[in-house]
Structure 1
Amino acid sequence: MIETWILISLGGIVLLLLFSAFFSGSETSLTAVSRARMLQLEKDGEVSARRVNHLTEDRERLIGAILLGNNLVNILASSIAAAVFLHLFGEAGVAYATLVMTMLVLIFAEVLPKTYALSNPDRFAQAVALPISIFVTLFAPIVATVQAIVRGTLRIFGANVEGPVLSSHDELRGHIDLHHQEGGVVKDDRDMLGGVLDLRELTVDDVMVHRKNITMIDAGLPVADIFAYALNSPHTRLPLFQGDAENIVGVLHARDLARALLKAAGDPSAIDLKAVCREPWFVPETTELLDQLNAFREKREHFALVVDEYGALMGLVTLEDILEEIVGEIEDEHDITVEGVKMEEDGIWLIDGATPIRDVNRALDWDLPDEEAVTMAGLVIHESQTIPETGQVFSFHGKRFEIVERRRNQIAKMRVSALPEEG
């Protein structure tokens, strides 16, 4: 007959293994749970989701409490098993107990619960949130003591134990790229989500239309010519300058002109041009895109002129320019399409020098740096430290750049291809 205490001990081991499985699965689920989904469920009134969010706010305390419980039950189960096997098999019982408990803990208390928790992290986390919360609260003093010892030991060795290394934006960007690699997010969606995150990192001079490409109207022209030019232009808003192109005195809106022309029965000479002009809005070139987007919304404007620190005109920025950083190129029936990127052969691209680096990266899924230059021509000039001649070839950032056309001091066209990977 098996002694009663052995049966009780075996039952205790099984119970402790169940507790070990509970702690292991809880650790995995609460670290793998989607905080975004839990936050949404909490907003929908889910009490269990609120408990999960409360637990994951202090991950160090959570992990410390779970590891404390897990090690406590595992060590206790192993000690009981050693006593039972010593009674049954003598000195060889220690080896038998070590082998059996290792297999039981590995399979049933570690791999099995963690596998299930990884497959169903949100459901598992919500199910264990209440008992884990109680356990964390009860053993908070012990966990705090352990945390203090751990932090003190790490500081002795010069380890940094402060907050997370990555910002929330970096984490979001990493998640987006990861889901794209796994096939969960298509390229267009990845570019749009990345564009939203980039609004804090870009300024208006990164997306503005350069002053040499701005279509402007001389206020000294006859009113009839001004009306004809403005209404035939593909642009809705046109800056009006007086004498010098830097002296912007107003902005003409095609709709305002058409409305004024209708009231004047089609006679442009009867229209007061100053009354039709809108006040120009100037913004500094260092304005962040997100701030400019909010300013557009507050002022209910779609158009602003960009100036540098000396007040000199640098270009113009529109609401459409900012939105294109998120959704890509926007073209309507009045736009003049300029082919900035054209495939010549497989893997070889003919690119306009004025094409923004960000547009090329987005179109070709490249990763050319855009910190020191905005356009492809600017990138080549920055890297080569010279204004290249036609026919010159450069290699940097894993790409081959051949200058195809140069107009005065401006790189007009270049041929770009990927360099062969080194063996």
Structure 2
Amino acid sequence: MENVHVEANPWLALLIVVFCLALSAFFSGAETALTAASRARMHALQAAGDRRAGIVNRLLLARERLIGAMLIGNNVVNIGASAFTTSVLVELFGSGGVIYATVAMSVLVVVFAEVMPKTVAINKPDQAALLLARPVSWVVALFGPLTMAIEAFVRAILRLVGIDIRANQSVLSPSEEIRGTVELLHREGGVEPEARKMFGGLLDLEELEVSDVMIHRTKMRTISADLSSEEIVREVLSSPYTRLPLWSGTAENIIGVLHAKDLLRALDAVKGDAAQLDVKAIALDPWFVPDTTSLVDQLKAFLARKTHFALVVDEYGEVMGLVTLEDILEEIVGDIRDEHDVAVQGVRPLPDGSVNVDGSVPVRDLNRAMDWRLPDEEATTIAGLVIHEAQTIPDTGQVFTFHGYRFQVLRKSRNRITALRITPLARNPAA
């Protein structure tokens, strides 16, 4: 009977070790799958009625407790398997059994309980998370009290060394996390370049102000209300725009906005006799918005007022420019053109890789046109960027190098830089 008992022990030991390794693989794979699962996909599946996704979302709301339960379970079964294997091998081989047990368990745990389950989980985290969600919830419930006690103990220890565990807020804002995720997916080939730009433009709306995208007053096309009705009609017909600000006395005194369609209706009503028109009565009241308004707020305001056109003023009430719904949408989808648009002037690429740019060209427009990344936080236009970096108003012919580009001032009018040549140094090392 004694010989039978000895022969049966190795098989029992093997079964116990295999069972412990399977549990360890479960804990390792579950931790990896649940922490790597897509929160957005889980929320979408929960909204579609998937109960397993709801369990995953509840587990992730208490992430510390989830990870604590997985670690406790993993360590318990690993230590138990190692201790049992060591006792069995020591009985069979004497003191040398300790070495055999250490080597055997190290290989088994690393390969079958760590690397293999985590590799499977990280390759298909969503599917693995849904599959393991229910048993993981049972484990978390089982180890819940112990996990809470350990959390409290850890917090107390960390407070003693000056670390507040409650200050676990992410350094990145939600928009930065989304931007980083989109950039990563773009590099991996999951997001097309145009989609990446659209995502970036959408996230930028919260950070940009109308002053960043407005048409500057020096480029505004306006009409004097003091002209005769016939001249105003000719000006409107020759303009590529449907909405034109009306001014009286001085160009800064905007008294209304004339819509070409309203003008045509009024012209039809008087049988085409422009002399009978009262242009000021046809014009709409101007809408003025502060230059510090965010693009998100301005977009909401456009939708609420059901209008596409606003004049931008500074803190003193002076007109700085105008902004349209199209200007905001172009931040998301890129340049919008129709058959009446005038081709944007001011950016002229040269064969050697350099670009001649008018000083009034916005930095964001140049970045979009050339796929560059010049900073636009401190200046709206290219000329403003050069002046900001140079800390002076440069003279014609001066050359500056910053942000990986070479800037040469080609023309200057009084205190305004009117033309520059920009050369990317990475593309033209000789420059």
User: Shorter-chain-normalised TM-score: which range?
Assistant: over 0.9
| 2:357 is equivalent to residue 347 of structure 1 | no
Tell me, in whole angstroms, the C-alpha distance in 2 between the residues paired with 1:338 and 1:405: 20
Task: Select the residue among 398, 412, 426 that pairs with 1:392.
Answer: 398
Q: Is the 8 A contact 2:362 2:381 kept in 1?
A: yes
Q: Is the 8 A contact 1:191 1:362 kept in 2?
A: no
Tell me, in whole angstroms, the C-alpha distance in 2 between the residues paired with 1:303 and 1:156: 59
Task: Select the residue among 261, 265, 271 that pairs with 1:255.
Answer: 261
SS of the aligned residue for 2:218 comes to: helix
Shift of the 130–415 alpha-carbon distance from structure 1 to 2, 3 Å rule, reads: same
Query: In the alignment, what sits opposite 1:277?
Result: 283
Deviations 1:324-377 (A, max 9, x none): 111111111111112433321343222222221122223333322111101111
Task: Select the residue among 220, 225, 242 that pairs with 1:219.
Answer: 225
Task: Select the residue among 56, 60, 63 that pairs with 1:59.
Answer: 63
**Which residue identity is paired with 1:129?**
A
Tell me, in whole angstroms, the C-alpha distance in 2 between the residues paired with 1:238 and 1:209: 13
Query: In the alignment, what sits opposite 2:128?
Result: 124
Shift of the 62–383 alpha-carbon distance from structure 1 to 2, 3 Å rule, reads: same
Task: Select the residue among 157, 164, 174 that pairs with 1:168.
Answer: 174
Query: In the alignment, what sits opposite 1:91?
Result: 95
Correspondence list, 1:19-30, <5 A:
19-30=23-34
| 2:323 is equivalent to residue 333 of structure 1 | no
Query: In the alignment, what sits opposite 1:140?
Result: 144
Deviations 1:255-313 (A, max 9, x none): 11111111111012222323311111110011000000011001101000011111111
| 2:412 is equivalent to residue 403 of structure 1 | no
| Aligned CA-pair RMSD | 1.6
Tell me, in whole angstroms, the C-alpha distance in 1 between the residues paired with 2:274 and 2:326: 30
Of 122-131 and 339-348, the range deviating more from structure 2: 339-348
SS of the aligned residue for 2:407 comes to: strand
Aligned pairs, how many?
422
**Which residue identity is paired with 1:29?**
A
Gaps of 5+ in 1: none
Q: Is the 8 A contact 1:251 1:278 kept in 2?
A: yes
Shift of the 144–346 alpha-carbon distance from structure 1 to 2, 3 Å rule, reads: farther
Tell me, in whole angstroms, the C-alpha distance in 2 between the residues paired with 1:201 and 1:46: 36
Q: Is the 8 A contact 2:155 2:164 kept in 1?
A: no
Shift of the 106–353 alpha-carbon distance from structure 1 to 2, 3 Å rule, reads: same
Tell me, in whole angstroms, the C-alpha distance in 2 between the residues paired with 1:160 and 1:228: 71
Identity of aligned residues (%): 54
Query: In the alignment, what sits opposite 2:38?
Result: 34
SS of the aligned residue for 2:350 comes to: strand
Tell me, in whole angstroms, the C-alpha distance in 1 between the residues paired with 2:338 and 2:275: 32
SS of the aligned residue for 1:213 comes to: coil
**Distance apart, 1:50 and its partner CA:** 1.1
Tell me, in whole angstroms, the C-alpha distance in 1 between the residues paired with 2:411 and 2:84: 83
Tell me, in whole angstroms, the C-alpha distance in 2 between the residues paired with 1:125 and 1:380: 52
Tell me, in whole angstroms, the C-alpha distance in 1 between the residues paired with 2:346 and 2:62: 50
Q: Is the 8 A contact 2:225 2:280 kept in 1?
A: no
Query: In the alignment, what sits opposite 2:365?
Result: 359
Task: Select the residue among 94, 112, 131 that pairs with 1:108.
Answer: 112
SS of the aligned residue for 2:131 comes to: helix
Deviations 1:8-30 (A, max 9, x none): 23211111100000011111111
Q: Is the 8 A contact 1:357 1:375 kept in 2?
A: yes
Tell me, in whole angstroms, the C-alpha distance in 2 between the residues paired with 1:390 and 1:79: 81
| 2:229 is equivalent to residue 201 of structure 1 | no
Tell me, in whole angstroms, the C-alpha distance in 1 between the residues paired with 2:62 and 2:397: 60
Task: Select the residue among 47, 53, 61 that pairs with 1:43.
Answer: 47
**Which residue identity is paired with 1:10?**
L
Task: Select the residue among 71, 75, 83 that pairs with 1:71.
Answer: 75
TM-score, normalisation: structure 2 = 0.94
Gaps of 5+ in 2: none
| 2:293 is equivalent to residue 267 of structure 1 | no
**Distance apart, 1:185 and its partner CA:** 1.8
SS of the aligned residue for 2:341 comes to: coil
Deviations 1:216-249 (A, max 9, x none): 1111111111112112211110011121222211
**Which residue identity is paired with 1:220?**
D
Correspondence list, 1:9-24, <5 A:
9-24=13-28
Tell me, in whole angstroms, the C-alpha distance in 1 between the residues paired with 2:353 and 2:185: 26
